Structure 1
């Protein structure tokens, strides 16, 4: 069985985060920990922040990437918060860094892109209404800010509580954008034409 260098480096990063701060971990530290050559590292990642982003994407967001159609929004959100909890030390450190190519910027962009793609898949071939795009971006940013606050908290609510809150808020606030009285997707532009 071949060794997955991405996973090897991500696991080393997570282990090193238990020994020292993520900002003080160097590429040299990662190479010494894994035995991977510098060239091999740079064949896969631009820099340490790229590895941090990959680790977040594959250790925390893995359920979203697998996109199991049987999972509800709540199940996906609960899994996300449980994965955050499992990697809280790493995420808390990584979210405190505001360097170029940082995790915080990646998380926000990923969430917005993911939500817009999800809506487009469920909306069909038509262009997304402006109100749906706005609501999706708004809720993506709000959800991520809630998650980051939760990550950085010293005494966080249980993952289940956060998943329920986020799911209920999205359900309540997006219902008017997503569903009209006949349960068809519509935009506020459609309702603006009604007198």
Structure 2
């Protein structure tokens, strides 16, 4: 691991520790750099602000999660893995999803999942751009899915994951279910 990557990981670990007892919107860069043992200049060489750090860390986690959602899985299996992953990073996602900042993880997660599903559908249909009706359904579904994910995370993750996943799939428009039922094909 290169030096910049180690520094970023150290800063991510610091903000995660701060999230254990302080809401993300109230955490300061000073708290992060003091906990990480680096300078403010080091922080700003790597990130434009704390939300950029959170989104970078989210991207690292999302890449891991999407790899787990990889080829050969059904939609249900992939979503179960995603929610198990979220539960494994419970504190981080609870704090990140509660943030009211316009650069929040919620918007970033929406974009990631939209791009993930779009890529699958484009490959299955053999097109470079989704048909407008499919794109509309997908955007609407992703908005609702993210909203329900945020609600599940920020209210304590009480609903059992398989039940949550079954409801999310049931809420998916039939045309999308047919295109996304098997993510690996």
**Equivalent residue number for residue 20 of structure 1:** 22
Between 105-114 and 6-15, the greater mean CA deviation after superposition: 105-114
Q: 1:48-104: CA deviations, max 9, x gaps? A: 011111222223552215663233322321122112222333322222222232222
Report how far residue 14 of structure 1 moved: 1.3
Q: Which moved more, 1:20-29 or 1:62-71?
A: 62-71
Q: Which residue of 2 aligns with 1:49?
A: 51
Normalising to structure 2: TM-score of the pair?
Answer: 0.80
| Residue number in structure 2 paired with 1:115 | 117
- Rounded Cα–Cα distance in structure 2 between residues aligned with 1:173 and 1:126: 18
- The unaligned stretches of length 5 or more in structure 1 are 180-195
Q: Which residue of 1 aligns with 2:166?
A: 164
What whole-Å deviation, never above 9, does each CA across 1:146-179 have from its counterpart, x for those lacking one? 1011012136212232223323443745247x49
Aligned to 1:118, the other structure's residue is in SS state helix
Please tell me the root mean square deviation across aligned C-alpha atoms, in Å: 2.6
* Preserved contact between residue 22 and residue 90 of structure 1 (Cα < 8 Å): no
> Aligned pairs, how many?
178
Structure 2 gaps, min length 5:
181-185
1:130 has 2:132 as partner: yes
Give the distance between the partners of 2:78 and 2:68, measured in 1 at CA.
10
Structure 1 match to 2:88: 86
Instruction: Give the counterpart of 1:62 among 38, 47, 64.
Output: 64
Contact 2:114 2:138 in 1 (8 A): yes
TM-score by length of 1: 0.76
User: What residue number does 1:74 align with?
Assistant: 76
**In structure 1, what is the Cα distance between the partners aligned to 2:106 and 2:57?**
13
> 2:143 matched to 1:147?
no
Structure number with larger C-alpha Rg = 1
Q: Is the 8 A contact 1:135 1:174 kept in 2?
A: yes
**Is 1:29 matched up with 2:31?**
yes
Aligned partners of 1:9, 1:121: CA distance in 2, in Å? Answer: 37
Partner residue of 1:182?
none
Q: How does 1:179-190 map to 2 (within 5 A)?
A: none
Distance, in Å, in 2 between the alignment partners of 1:74 and 1:36 is: 42
Higher RCO, 1 vs 2 (CA within 8 Å, ≥6 residues apart): 2
